[in-house]
Structure 1
Amino acid sequence: MDNNKRPRRFRDGNSPRPAQSHFSPNAGRNAPAREPLATGPFADMGIDHRINANIAAMGLTRPTPIQEQGIPAVVEGRDVMGLAQTGTGKTAAFGLPMLTRLIKYGKKPDPKTCRALILAPTRELATQIATNIEAYAEGTPIRSYRVVGGASINVQTERLSRGVDVLIATPGRLIDLIERRAIDLRETTYLVLDEADQMLDIGFIHALRRIAKMLPKQRQTLLFSATMPKLMEELAATYLTNPVRVAVNPPGQAAKKIDQGVHFVSQGDKATLLAEYLSKHIGELAIVFGRTKHGSDKLARLLEKWGFSVAAIHGNKSQGQRERALEAFRKGQTQVLVATDVAARGLDIPEVAHVYNYDLPNVPDNYIHRIGRTARAGRDGRAVAFCAPAEIDELRAIEKTMKTSIPVIGGEAPPAQATSSRAAKGRPARPNGGNARPARRPSRKPAGQRSNA
């Protein structure tokens, strides 16, 4: 959440919002003079006084670089392409000016329509955005709604029948609702693609192209991405018109307040080492990233057996299970969250003090997203990577991406030859220049290293 010190529960199909009055004819800047005038940097950029009061109460009083550069362009109605890592305040950068502009409509949306569509790659990120949008818009006529897989599509269909101002959705569930004719995008005048690079990584490109054809050509489009691969440039050229480009916290750079370290350890000793680290900060929140769903579940059960308060989230968990696990973690009822990369973006819990990369990610950028779950809202954080001999190549790729070396805080790095392709696969180098075979092939890697989550 963007500097949000007062998280509010968003409303979805499982907790419907009671009927309330909607837009008044005197909305937005046409309000009577007796309404209080907002002051401060956000007000100076044109943010509505009610929204400004909400974010001030949440502790958001000074704009981050992406907010400072992006908000004026959005208020002006320009398309924006933002390049920034998670945790830089992107949700407020697009949410505050978008809500300000929506307030000016002066009437409620038509049934089965939405005025603004925000697409996110994961349920967790969609949930985080929905929570923020509702907090920003509290006390205004704006009504937001979130639709993701794993929740009742019938309840979602019923809610959309009344129309909604801001719809936050994952692409897959949105397509399902479109096919049921539960939502019509022809009146959608704002489109936001958040973490667009991750949407491409997990195969949503065809869904995005299909959705784009259903939107009016006359719209404002805001695209935010942590990286800018070639396909992203093509996507931007298709979706955006003469966009303002905003780039902060360049790709490959982690937050400066994160104290990073790598501990070299054999794969079989990782669980014991993790328990030793966790025992040093009992009561503080820690996220442990694994590579696979099965491996994360297995690790969570082991830690629980050892007496730690643990929850696990990954793609095989139902939406209800994931939300309950995150809520317990957010409240401090559990101190350790074991997760796959579904939690690498969009998880904003400022109290997270430690991140452990139990398994190094296959994609270097995911390391940066993972450790970005700590050192949020101006706090300090610590990130420790466990590196087994078979993960040396992954470590080197991460360091190359970040253009820096991660300090060694434990264990011993394997000898130079261990970075060869055979060593990276967990095999010993062949003697005599590779002409002889080892007498015995080592066992397969543990399940936690075989596939991506």
Structure 2
Amino acid sequence: MFKASIQRQVRLGNVARQFSTVSLMRNIRSEPLAILHQTPVLPALRRLTPRYAFSHLYSTESATAQANREGEFAPVPSAPVTRFSELSQLGVNPQLVAALTRGMGYDAMTEVQSMAINPALKGTDMVAQAKTGTGKTLAFLVPIFQRVLVDQPELADRRVRRRASSQDIRAIILSPTRELAEQIGVEARKLANNTGIVVQTAVGGTRKRESLFKMWREGCDVLVATPGRLNDLLSDTEAKVAAPNLQAFVLDEADRMLDVGFSDEIRSIQEMLPSRAEKERQTLLFSATIPRDVVHLAKSMVRPDNFEFVQTIKADDSPTHERVPQHLVTVQGFENIFPTILEIAHKAKSAEDSDLPFKAIIFFSNTASVQFAYEAFRNTTAFSRRAGTPIFQIHSKLTQGQRTRSADFFRQAKSAVLFSSDVTARGMDFPNVTDVIQVGLPPDREQYIHRVGRTGRAGNSGKGWLILSNEEIPEARERLPGLPIKPNNTIESAKHTLGDSSASEDISRFFSELSSAYEYVPKSMFRATYMACLGQKFGRHFQAEDLIKLLNDWCVGAMGWTEPPAVSPKIAQNRGLSHVRGVRIGYDREEEEPVRRAPGDDSGSGFGHGNGFGGRGGSGNFGGRGGSGNFGGRGRNDNFGGRGRNDNFGGRGRSNRNSFEDRFSSRVDGKPRFAPRASF
């Protein structure tokens, strides 16, 4: 019944939204919401079983009843406010309004903010569907901060000394990735600046004891966390972290959290929090898509007789991935990929008709490839410190401090390149990204779309690039249907053959620079990349034998190895590679030649350009305690063959499920559920 309710509400949501006064911001003709009482829409809602039906959208009766129930919230006006300065009309604390308008400089609300903040202030639970990058962080921060201040009015004055406690957390916000949690924490602290509310973050990749000491010393009113770390803290009796009086619980990017396998942690967290019968709390669940798993999660978390569904994605909305020009570059072999990236960057930076700096994110489907590419490119002249285009890397093997610093520096840079795994593919706000470059087959259509969504944000222009070998094209057609990807044949490096003397000076230079750069990269990094690629998701049209030939040609033909890396008999057997042509089964000697630095590379160890931001191993220290080439473990990120949660290949992770297409109802963009094969 609950699922049927959401299904029907999504279909009706687009109709109801046509009458919302929010549409006035877009100069679209609309009627007051009162018209809903005279249309067939409301009777349709009434026919739903009351226990499972959605609340009437912005219903005056619902707002009044909620306000009178506890006397905590003022009645909500019939028309939603559209400016932050107007929040005082809804009884929002003046300190929060001042922080939003004067401190953070916000004026007009985005659509999701206007549609979500208004009903959320009533205290009802909410399931909201909104695109990433639309300002939904404030859409849930404002209501939960107001709820905390209503319950503890003394927190409105930051001068009042109140002892916050890690054992009395009032609001919890869960995020699927460390970067997004840190980003939410920064926004939350800005909003709390004029109050006594204490905001803390708890994410994996940081030292648990240090974050606990900070929480014990300063206390905590609002906690922003990743599911794994929060589950660890709540289950550890010595951590002294509890929320017996929890008032608000938020899940951001709920579909992503379920997609990467956090359902067990979320269920465990719920069991350790006070039940709704013991302590009533508000639950806000935000998601870009509403697949079946999100419906089940919502059913277990929200109050079925007191929640609202907010739909901000209209049937005629043009998704980001349809507005961004997307180019397919087909390379002759893997040895052409890195020179192709250099040529794309060179053309972008030297284009006479472009006044935009080159700011790009380059996505790989595994951490080892990110590490290898970063180390190779930092030894080229185009991306050296002296070239003026700094490069950064983000992946799961870096400490959280290193990842945060990389994200902050890239966010602030006008021109830069970020090498990244999929930890930044969703929810992260990097302004003015001009290009998104995806290397190799994306794991699925949804992940491709989220990566492309890092550019073309907030009305800015951008471009998407997909670099594939000829052998990968048939599989890409199956995996990426219905996307506006157009072949681009202007990149000369993609078709260049090694040893061809007829190439232009620029093309020869790109290949020559990469050939020299490979000499400065530890061989263990390429071995790790080789193994990681063998653990990727294959398909009907792209098999292990195709990949092995591409990798071997790259290794021997372009990098100068005498033979490709060896695959141990156990790994070969586990991955079904024992009888695949081209696999060298055996063991490599663990000897490693000392790593040289490219001429003019003065990065050195410690904090600085291209050194992993001062990891314990100094310059070139990547991978943390696990080190590169650590496969088959039980880590959460970039785990190959094991039980990892992100970038999981061949294990028990769930990242390969295409929730973009797995909607519980008709697609909100009006397109058929099963798109045709790609035409590129």
**TM bracket (short chain):** 0.7 to 0.9
Do 1:113 and 1:160's aligned partners in 2 also have CA atoms closer than 8 Å?
no
What is the CA distance between 1:295 and its match in structure 2? Answer: 0.7
Higher mean Cα deviation, 104-113 or 302-311?
104-113
One-letter identity of the residue aligned with 2:311: A
What is the CA distance between 1:50 and its match in structure 2? Answer: 3.0
Per the alignment, in what secondary structure is the counterpart of residue 485 of structure 2?
coil
User: Which of 132, 138, 149 is equivalent to 1:86?
Assistant: 132
Q: Which residue of 1 aligns with 2:328?
A: 262
Q: Which residue of 2 aligns with 1:142?
A: 197
Q: Which residue of 2 aligns with 1:279?
A: 346
Q: Which residue of 1 aligns with 2:405?
A: 324
Do 1:147 and 1:173's aligned partners in 2 also have CA atoms closer than 8 Å?
yes
Higher mean Cα deviation, 86-95 or 375-384?
375-384
User: Which of 415, 423, 443 is equivalent to 2:541?
Assistant: 423
What is the CA distance between 1:298 and its match in structure 2? Answer: 0.9
> In the alignment, is residue 166 of structure 1 matched against residue 230 of structure 2?
no
> In the alignment, is residue 48 of structure 1 matched against residue 89 of structure 2?
no
> In the alignment, is residue 246 of structure 1 matched against residue 314 of structure 2?
no
The 2-side partners of 1:191 and 1:286 are apart by 35
Do 1:144 and 1:164's aligned partners in 2 also have CA atoms closer than 8 Å?
yes
Cα distance per residue 1:211-234 (max 9 Å; x no partner) = 111223111001112222222211
Per the alignment, in what secondary structure is the counterpart of residue 245 of structure 1?
strand
What is the CA distance between 1:146 and its match in structure 2? Answer: 0.6
- CA 1:248 to 1:122, structure 2 compared with 1: closer, same or farther past 3 Å? same
What is the CA distance between 1:329 and its match in structure 2? Answer: 1.6
Higher mean Cα deviation, 75-84 or 239-248?
239-248
Q: Which residue of 1 aligns with 2:249?
A: 191
What is the CA distance between 1:322 and its match in structure 2? Answer: 1.2
User: Which of 376, 383, 408 is equivalent to 2:487?
Assistant: 408
One-letter identity of the residue aligned with 1:128: Q
One-letter identity of the residue aligned with 1:238: S
Higher mean Cα deviation, 258-267 or 211-220?
258-267
What is the CA distance between 1:381 and its match in structure 2? Answer: 1.9
What is the CA distance between 1:255 and its match in structure 2? Answer: 5.5
Instruction: Tell me: higher relative CO, structure 1 or 2? Use CA pairs within 8 A at least 6 residues apart.
Output: 1
Do 1:389 and 1:426's aligned partners in 2 also have CA atoms closer than 8 Å?
no
Unmatched 5+ stretches in structure 1: 1-27, 30-37, 414-419, 429-439
Q: Which residue of 1 aligns with 2:574?
A: none
Do 2:475 and 2:541's aligned partners in 1 also have CA atoms closer than 8 Å?
no
One-letter identity of the residue aligned with 2:99: N
One-letter identity of the residue aligned with 1:186: P
Do 1:41 and 1:63's aligned partners in 2 also have CA atoms closer than 8 Å?
no
Do 2:84 and 2:100's aligned partners in 1 also have CA atoms closer than 8 Å?
no
**Percent identity between the two aligned chains:** 33
What is the CA distance between 1:406 and its match in structure 2? Answer: 1.8
Higher mean Cα deviation, 155-164 or 245-254?
245-254
| RMSD (Å), alpha carbons | 3.2
One-letter identity of the residue aligned with 2:426: R
Cα distance per residue 1:175-202 (max 9 Å; x no partner) = 2222134211221110001111222122
Give matches, 1:99-114, under 5 Å: 99-104=145-150, 105-107=152-154, 108=162, 109-114=164-169
The 2-side partners of 1:119 and 1:84 are apart by 17
- Matched residues, number: 397
The 2-side partners of 1:163 and 1:233 are apart by 34
Do 1:147 and 1:174's aligned partners in 2 also have CA atoms closer than 8 Å?
yes
The 1-side partners of 2:226 and 2:86 are apart by 32
Per the alignment, in what secondary structure is the counterpart of residue 407 of structure 1?
strand
Q: Which residue of 2 aligns with 1:18?
A: none
One-letter identity of the residue aligned with 1:273: T
The 2-side partners of 1:389 and 1:186 are apart by 58
Higher mean Cα deviation, 64-73 or 120-129?
64-73
User: Which of 115, 118, 121 is equivalent to 2:170?
Assistant: 115
Cα distance per residue 1:87-127 (max 9 Å; x no partner) = 12110111122212222222454452210000111110100
Do 1:390 and 1:426's aligned partners in 2 also have CA atoms closer than 8 Å?
no
Q: Which residue of 2 aligns with 1:295?
A: 369
Do 1:365 and 1:398's aligned partners in 2 also have CA atoms closer than 8 Å?
no
Per the alignment, in what secondary structure is the counterpart of residue 141 of structure 1?
coil
> In the alignment, is residue 175 of structure 1 matched against residue 175 of structure 2?
no
What is the CA distance between 1:290 and its match in structure 2? Answer: 0.5
The TM-score, its normalising length taken from structure 1, stands at: 0.79
One-letter identity of the residue aligned with 1:165: D
The 2-side partners of 1:390 and 1:304 are apart by 29
- CA 1:397 to 1:135, structure 2 compared with 1: closer, same or farther past 3 Å? farther
The 1-side partners of 2:487 and 2:372 are apart by 27
What is the CA distance between 1:247 and its match in structure 2? Answer: 2.4
What is the CA distance between 1:47 and its match in structure 2? Answer: 4.0
Q: Which residue of 1 aligns with 2:298?
A: 236
Do 1:45 and 1:71's aligned partners in 2 also have CA atoms closer than 8 Å?
no
- CA 1:425 to 1:250, structure 2 compared with 1: closer, same or farther past 3 Å? farther
- CA 1:388 to 1:64, structure 2 compared with 1: closer, same or farther past 3 Å? farther
One-letter identity of the residue aligned with 1:82: A
Cα distance per residue 1:277-318 (max 9 Å; x no partner) = 112334532110001111111111121112213221111111
The 2-side partners of 1:398 and 1:87 are apart by 25
Cα distance per residue 1:403-442 (max 9 Å; x no partner) = 44322233799xxxxxx965333768xxxxxxxxxxx946
